[in-house]
Amino acid sequence: MINPELAAAMLYPAATSTRHAGPIPTVVPTPTHYQLISETGKRTLWVGFALMTLTAGIFSLLSWNVPLSKRVYHVVATLAAVVSALAYFAAATGQTSSLACHPVRDHHEHVPDTWHDACRQVFWARYIDWFFSTPLVLLNLCLLGGVSGAHTLAAIVANAVLVVAGWAAAYGTYTGASTGGDSHQKMAIWGWFAIACVAYLVVVWHVGLHGTNAVRNKGARLIKIWTPMAVYVLVVWAAYAVVWAIAPLSHKGSVDTEVITYLVLDILAKSVFGFWLLITHRAVAESAIDLSGYWSQGLAAEGRIRIGEDE
C-alpha cells in the first residue's frame, strides 16, 4: 500500500519540510482521463468507408455516357469520394489515430493544486482526407460558377490553411504543468482556431463574393443553381468548424458522437453535393465545360519523331 504522507512528501517537499502539530492534508493526483472510440464509433467508420466507396462508384457510373471532354465534374467529384473512402478505411482499421493530451489543473481547498492529463483519441487521417478532398469540392463549385483561376487558387490555399490549423489545434502543444501548461495549451489551441476562422472567411470572400460576380456574367439560369450550391457548401464548412470547436478542442461530447457527426457532414459535403452538381448541371448549358487537348486526346501527334521519315 502507498503511504499517503510519503506520497505527499514526494509531491510537495516544501509543504512537508516544516513540522506540523496536526495531520498533513494530502491528495492523490487524479489519474489520466481517456476519451476513446467505442464499438459504435468503429462501426460508424466502416459505414463511412462503405458509403464513400459507394458514392465513388455511382459517380463513375454517372460519367459512363458523358464524353471525356465534358467529364471534369465527374472526375473531380469521384476523386473526392475516393480520398474520403481511403481515409475512412485507414481509420476503421485502427492505423491512423493517436492520443492528443493536455494538462488539466485539479483545484483543492487544503492542499496545493494537482494536475492530470486529459487524452482524447484523434483520427489524423481525417485531416489528410480534408486536405485533399475539400479542395476538390471547392474546385467543382468554382468551375461551375466560372470563378477565375486566381480566386479559385486563393480559395483552395485558404482551405488548406484551415485544415492544417485544425490539425494543429486538435493536437495542441503540450507545455507541461510546471510552466503553466493549461493556460499555454488553451492559448495555442484557440490561436489555431482563430487562424482557421480567418482562413474560412478568405474562402467565403473568394468563393462567395467573387464567385457571385463571376456567375452573373453567365446568365440567370446558372445563378439559380450555383447560388444555393455555394451557400450550401459554405454552411456545411461552417458546421465542420462548430463540431471541431466543441469536440476535439473543448473535449465536449464523446469520440463516438464526433465520428458520427463528421460522417454526416462528409456525406453532405461530398456525396449529396456531388449528386446535386452532377444531376443539376446537365440541364444548364452555361455550366458545361468542354476540355479538349491533352485532357481528352492526350499528347498531340505533331512534333513526334518518326523513324525512317525523310529529314
pLDDT tens track for 120-155: 888 899 999 999 999 999 999 999 888 889 999 999
Number of domains in the chain: 1
Q: 7 in a domain, yes or no?
A: no
Q: Which of 27, 32, 183, 11 is nearest to 108 (CA)?
A: 27
Domain that holds residue 144: 26-284
Global pTM value:
0.79
Identify the segments of the chain with pLDDT beneath 70. Answer: 1-34, 102-116, 172-186, 296, 300-311
pLDDT tens-digit readout, 64-76: 888 877 789 999 9
Amino acid sitting at position 194: A
Q: 240 in a domain, yes or no?
A: yes
Q: 4 in a domain, yes or no?
A: no
pLDDT tens-digit readout, 33-82: 667 889 999 999 999 999 999 999 999 999 888 887 778 999 999 999 99
Q: 226 in a domain, yes or no?
A: yes
- The CATH number linked to 100 is 1.20.1070.10
Buried b (16+ CB within 10 A) or exposed e, 228-263: ebbebbbebbebbbebbbebbbebeebbbbbbbbbb
**Beta strands across the sheet bearing 97-106:** 33-35, 114-123, 97-106
